[in-house]
């Protein structure tokens, strides 16, 4: 019995190590005199959605960019499935980045390309698939986000919410293992935002995507998150399941979650 228990413990110990899809260890990043990330450590489990919340300018986008090594840490390390990636060359990183979909904060579609060409772009860049295969994938991804039929439109001809969904279709074109969403619902009405939340959940549930969602939108955070991490001035100040955030009595977290300004926030208005 004791032996069995020991074996189970060894196995679960191993499983715990293996399931970290992404790990940041002691990551610090500064821009000139501005220290943005401070010895930040974070393990992201495979197949789960982690939501990162925090005030504007606190380092959320900078954190996401470290996960795909668009930024490199000044100190600390970044691992993908146990393999260190932060010191790889740009050439070596191409292989990793294909496993990621990145929905950028600003959407960033190519204005001169059609919707279909935007979604097809990574497929032309990173695969040798034929035009016919690519067309089929484009249709499949656009259907997933509810936009099949808009293939020949240009970004300027569709709404903001539709552009976000096209950007999401492009982000998942290569069937990524991990999708990073930087404020996916910002600027959308509540119904459109909910469509995006639902897509994030489906990608996780149906395809097992590991997600990292940066957001200010607590409705979205509660809906899509298996776990919420709150950043404050480059440090993690709260980390737990959504229910912990609903009920927290930590004043800094409470204020953010309830959307209340602190006296310091308001003092700037008096000047």
Ligand X SMILES: Nc1ncnc2c1ncn2[C@@H]1O[C@H](COP(=O)(O)OP(=O)(O)OP(=O)(O)O)[C@@H](O)[C@H]1O
Q: Binding residues for ligand X, per CB under 6 A?
A: 31, 34, 36, 54, 56-62, 105
Give which of ligand X, Mg ion, none residue 215 binds (C-beta under 5 to 8 Å, depending on kind).
Answer: none
Angle 11-13-17 from CA coordinates, rounded to 5°: 115
Q: If you compute the radius of gyration of the chain from its CA atoms, what whole number of angstroms results? A: 20
Give which of Mg ion, ligand X, none residue 58 binds (C-beta under 5 to 8 Å, depending on kind).
Answer: ligand X
What's the min distance (Å) between Cβ of 211 and Mg ion? 16
Region near Mg ion per CB under 5 A, out of 60-68, 69-77, 111-119, 126-134: 60-68
Q: Per DSSP, which regions of the chain are E strands?
A: 20-31, 34-45, 49-53, 75-80, 83-84, 100-103, 178-182, 210-214, 227-232, 235-240
Task: Decide whether 138 or 180 has the Cβ nearer to ligand X.
Answer: 180
Angle 132-134-135 from CA coordinates, rounded to 5°: 65
Give which of Mg ion, ligand X, none residue 76 binds (C-beta under 5 to 8 Å, depending on kind).
Answer: none
Tell whether residue 185 is a contact of Mg ion (CB under 5 A): no
Tell whether residue 61 is a contact of Mg ion (CB under 5 A): yes
Helix (H) or strand (E) holding 18: helix 2-18
What's the min distance (Å) between Cβ of 182 and Mg ion? 6
Q: What are the C-alpha distances in Å from 98 to residues 93, 122, 187, 235?
A: 9, 9, 28, 29
Tokens of residue 188, six digits: 């959308």
What's the min distance (Å) between Cβ of 106 and ligand X? 10
- Show the 3-state SS of 156-191: HHCCHHHHHHHHHHHHCCCCCCEEEEECCCCCCCHH
What's the min distance (Å) between Cβ of 220 and Mg ion? 15
Task: Decide whether 62 or 209 has the Cβ nearer to Mg ion.
Answer: 62
Give which of ligand X, Mg ion, none residue 31 binds (C-beta under 5 to 8 Å, depending on kind).
Answer: ligand X
What's the min distance (Å) between Cβ of 24 and ligand X? 14
Binding site for Mg ion (CB under 5 A): 61
């Amino acid at each position: 019995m004791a032996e069995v228990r020991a074996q189970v413990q060894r196995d679960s110990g191993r499983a715990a190590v293996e399931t970290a899809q992404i790990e940041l260890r002691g990551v610090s990043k500064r821009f000139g005199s501005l220290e943005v990330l401070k010895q930040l450590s974070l393990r992201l489990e495979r197949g789960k959605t982690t939501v990162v919340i925090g005030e504007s300018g606190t380092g959320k986008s900078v954190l996401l960019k470290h996960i795909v090594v668009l930024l490199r840490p000044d100190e600390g390390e970044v691992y993908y499935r146990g393999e260190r990636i932060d010191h790889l060359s740009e050439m070596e990183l191409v292989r990793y980045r294909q496993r990621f979909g990145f929905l950028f904060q600003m959407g960033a579609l190519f204005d001169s390309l059609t919707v279909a060409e935007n979604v097809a772009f990574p497929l032309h860049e990173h695969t040798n698939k034929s035009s016919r295969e690519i067309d089929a994938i484009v249709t499949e991804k656009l259907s997933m986000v509810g936009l099949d039929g808009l293939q020949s439109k240009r970004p300027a001809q569709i709404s903001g919410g539709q552009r976000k969904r096209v950007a999401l279709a492009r982000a998942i074109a290569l069937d990524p293992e991990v999708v990073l969403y930087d404020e996916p619902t910002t600027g959308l009405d509540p119904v459109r935002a909910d469509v995006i939340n639902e897509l994030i959940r489906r990608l996780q549930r149906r395809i097992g995507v590991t997600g990292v969602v940066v957001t200010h939108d607590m409705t979205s955070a509660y809906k899509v998150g298996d776990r919420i991490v709150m950043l404050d001035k480059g440090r993690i100040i709260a980390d737990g399941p959504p229910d912990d955030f609903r009920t927290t009595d930590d004043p800094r977290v409470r204020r953010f979650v309830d959307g209340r300004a602190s006296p310091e926030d308001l003092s700037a208005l008096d000047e």
